[in-house]
Amino acid sequence: MVREPYKVAIQNQVDVTKSSDGVLDYAFNWSDVIESTETITTSNWVVSSTANDTSFTLVSSSLSGVITTAFVSGGRNNYYYVLKNTITTDQGRTWIRVMNMKVESK
């Protein structure tokens, strides 16, 4: 991946499954795309549903070094949700990663 300043780079999507009862953490490790001297300055998580269902919620999020984490809860069985993380760095770069999530009873 080319690292260019002032560019938005969208990474490949990740597909996961979660239980509707679970409150779980999901994380991205950004060390594969940012320089070792670069720092993540902001991390923003957004949750959405293809069916406009609001039962899937972002409980909290955190940033620790190159790891961004989101705790999510809820969702309806057999529905699909999107968890999107956008970061910016001290070098002016913006990166986006997307996690597609299917909720299933476990």
For residue 94, pLDDT beyond 50: yes
Which run of H or of E encompasses 72?
Answer: strand 67-74
Residue type, 74: G
Q: What is the mean pLDDT of residues 84-106?
A: 91
Residue 11: DSSP 8-state: P
Task: Count the neighbouring beta carbons within 10 Å of the beta carbon of residue 93.
Answer: 20
pLDDT at 92: 93
The CATH code that applies to domain 8-103 is 2.60.40.10
Task: Count the neighbouring beta carbons within 10 Å of the beta carbon of residue 73.
Answer: 16
Query: How many alpha carbons lie under 13 Å from residue 1 in its C-beta half-sphere?
Result: 15
Domain positions in the chain: 8-103
pLDDT at 78: 87
The predicted-structure confidence for 4-63, as pLDDT tens digits, reads as follows: 444 444 555 566 777 777 888 889 999 999 999 999 999 999 998 877 788 889 999 999
Q: What is the mean pLDDT of residues 70-75?
A: 92
